[in-house]
Chain A
């Protein structure tokens, strides 16, 4: 009976999980990179005493705390969903992967503590102490994502445990999570992505100012700092991404085959751009002979394993994975081009570009960076299907037997829609509210209470 019910709500459970990730992952990028940018600006203030940097850092810290609040609650929902949607997954493998989340919990703790001190401590701590109180935020954001991605790496490339009759007999968590060859490329790819996403999101909001003719030193500083971070990260990301794809080819050939729509095992395989995967072939695609073999194995005659090496029931949905992958590559390439132009212009003319088309392109990069981020995670997560723990447990066997998943899905979708609207509204409000260059300490009664 539970088996039948479980099958019924698998799709809703997967969509609910996907929705929760879609809302949370961009906030993770902010958590990875934004504290570093805020601290860089505050550090400039400490070195020069220029109030402009302090104003900018304070302003960004208000944005940071609003986004962090959204990250806290959406992250909590994710941890709840591991039990609410996938109790069998957690009940079976919790002993193996749980350690990563336990450590992540601590880093989350540190982040929450120091963000409270940092954001409510402007004007109340000495400038140096205040700056130091921000450092743990930046470090904890990286450690937290490191831990979560180590769990994901293990799900994609499980090892270091013994499994009999559907139960884990013995396991070594530390090795399973951190001695996993599959995890490093995921983490580094995501870490660089954090700077690209944050950089372009923040830079784009000031590019809008540039296009509207507000282009003083304050706006220019607020634009160039995140833009520079994104501009140095975006070209590097192409190399890191290429390396990640080669790691996937080595460790998860089926996922690579799905990413490229390779139906049959082929010697000297071609790379297809666009097109549609049908019955083992990409139709209407632009094929470049032997390129896939060259990229994946550095040999134009290398054999690339195809989807036919596993039964149809073990193949991921190819077109979803393939189009996600291609979206990520296209968006990433476009962002790298914008970044390269920015760097080139800096070297050539020693100033910021004056053309509105550059700023329009930066504005476009903000949604594109989110597209690339989400498409990348869809590639790796849908590409793992139908497995939740690759080769050990199918997603269908992990799902909850509880009914009412569709109702929960609807309710969560409505609440998240409200959350996204609310966060957008806060950001617009914060951008519009005037901020005096030298804020006065007016709230003596509740010294800790205001973020102004």
Chain B
């Protein structure tokens, strides 16, 4: 039983982190869109962009993790969701492409071009979370049956729960972004930006809180089972936690304690997702497919859990490093170069030696891989060819080669040749 549950827990954790981190990136896009014109708006947009640029890729990968765990551990659920909800998922995917493109373009664009890039970026930042929110709403309200595209193609994700979940996803992202960016602006000592995001955090906090509360009433009529789960038993705990944390976060924003508000706001949003997961248990697709029925074979689950654990050991320290560098705001400025010229170029003798070795390994690799038959010979042949490539690279010595004076590349240009054919 625990075996079947663990991947689902990982999916929920991944979704929470995606909502908190990438959701805030999306929210930053919302604020870029609504910044208006003028120098101050430019500063707001730059601030939002600069805060995200180093981290957006890492934040985005949480979605990939959720998807891969879902299709490994619960393949049927994945197939059902992605076939029935193909339209919103595809639109979210288009938004993801636009966002990635915008980040890539941003550094190379001039002022006028950046306005178009900002626009497409902001549009994508609203579309993607809205569509992903409708997907969650469709699943939570039981509109996704198992099987290949057996649910309503449009009706499944345009129900009241989906719409409210979509708006909630956009609003919580905007709220998180405003709180995070206010804290960043405070660290950078930009009082004007702090003011702007202070106001934005208050407004979006009220909107997000209102949507969450109103959402409960929508869910009561649209998805009674989900409502019962949220308002009784264990489901009630995260709902209460979310409400309290949300109020605390708002209070801290009013008091301009942004760093503390950041934690509280994150808790409020995370609790909403936990509440949904708890209310929906034991179903992955209410009310047709339970966690246990959907889970893959035990060997697969064990292999998955082991690799997730090993991956986490590598991943979390790296993430901590990235966020420490980003949130600390500045690396140690050590622009002094290394001690110069500790090693000269590779000597000619050594390169000659390397060339002979490389040719030797290449020939040995050829004999073992191409002429010999047994698999063991092939393995050694491949290793030898790999060594031949490495040694060959050293034998050529690209750096030394480039240092030699080279003749001008001269000769008739193609245009001349074409003009006067002989």
Contact = CB atoms under 8 A, between A and B. Distances in A.
7 contacts: A51-B337, A83-B78, A98-B300, A124-B332, A225-B398, A228-B396, A447-B331
Contacts of A400: 82-83, 86, 148-149
A223 B403 CA distance: 12
A87 B392 contact: no
A90 B404 contact: no
Interface of B: 46-47, 49-51, 53-55, 57-58, 60-61, 63-65, 67-69, 71-76, 78-84, 86-87, 89-90, 93-94, 96-101, 103-105, 107-108, 148-150, 153, 188, 190, 296-297, 299-300, 303-304, 307-308, 311, 314-315, 318-319, 321-322, 325-326, 329-335, 337-343, 355, 358, 362, 365-366, 369-371, 373, 378, 381-382, 385, 388-389, 392-393, 396, 398-399, 401-414
A183 interface: no
Given A124-B332, A402-B83, A102 B304 contact: yes
A90 B108 contact: no
Interface stretch (A231-239, A304-312, A328-336, A383-391): A231-239
A91 B108 CA distance: 42
Q: Is the interface of B mostly helix, strand, loop or mixed?
A: helix
Contacts of A76: 60, 63-64, 93, 96-97
Contacts of A136: 318
A109 B408 contact: no
B225 to A, nearest CB: 24
Contact of B398 (A93, A221, A423, A447): A221
A173 interface: yes
5 shortest interchain CB distances as A-B pairs: A83-B82, A98-B72, A91-B79, A49-B340, A124-B331
B303 A401 contact: no
A422 B53 CA distance: 18
B411 A356 contact: yes
Contact of B54 (A98, A221, A360, A448): A448
B83 A401 contact: yes
What class of interface size applies to chain A in its complex with B? 35 or more
Contacts of B403: 217, 221
Interface in A266-324: 298
Interface stretch (A39-47, A257-265, A368-376): A39-47
A291 to B, nearest CB: 15
A70 interface: yes
A30 to B, nearest CB: 13
B101 to A, nearest CB: 5
Identify the interface centre among A66, A210, A233, A298: most chain B CB within 10 Å of its CB: A66
A90 B294 CA distance: 13
Given A106-B315, A224-B401, A423 B90 contact: no
Contact of A94 (B71, B94, B407, B413): B71
A165 interface: no
Contacts of A224: 396, 398-399, 401-402
A298 B153 contact: no
Given A72-B60, A221-B398, A448-B331, 16 more contacts: A49-B340, A51-B337, A66-B108, A84-B93, A88-B148, A109-B58, A110-B318, A124-B325, A124-B334, A210-B409, A220-B406, A223-B402, A225-B399, A232-B358, A346-B401, A404-B87
Contacts of B308: 102
A135 interface: no
A99 B72 contact: yes
Contacts of B72: 94-95, 98-99, 101-102, 173
A101 B68 contact: yes
A125 B334 contact: yes
A441 interface: yes
Contacts of A47: 342-343
Contacts of B98: 415
A249 interface: no
Contacts of A350: 404
B399 A95 contact: no
Nearest to B343: A47
B311 A170 contact: no
A354 B410 contact: yes
B49 A49 contact: no
A62 B108 CA distance: 10
A75 to B, nearest CB: 8
B241 to A, nearest CB: 28
B73 to A, nearest CB: 7
Interface in A70-122: 70, 72-77, 79-80, 82-84, 87-88, 90-96, 98-99, 101-106, 108-110, 112-117, 119-121
B341 A82 contact: no
A404 B86 contact: yes
A79 B64 contact: yes
B86 A402 contact: yes
A229 interface: yes
Contacts of B407: 351, 354
Contacts of A74: 97
A135 B331 CA distance: 19
Given A84-B89, A124-B330, A350-B404, A94 B79 contact: yes
B300 A171 contact: yes
Identify the interface centre among B86, B322, B407: most chain A CB within 10 Å of its CB: B86
A126 B332 contact: yes
A19 interface: no
Identify the interface centre among A104, A401, A412: most chain B CB within 10 Å of its CB: A401
Contacts of A211: 409, 413
Contact of B107 (A62, A79, A359): A62
A284 to B, nearest CB: 30
A227 interface: yes
A404 B409 contact: no
Contact of B148 (A87, A213, A343): A87
A448 B325 contact: yes
Nearest to B61: A109
A410 B52 CA distance: 31
Contacts of A171: 296-297, 299-300
Interface string A205-223: 0000011010101001101
Contacts of A62: 107
Given A116-B58, A408-B90, A102 B69 contact: yes
A137 B392 CA distance: 24
A401 B329 contact: no
A280 to B, nearest CB: 30
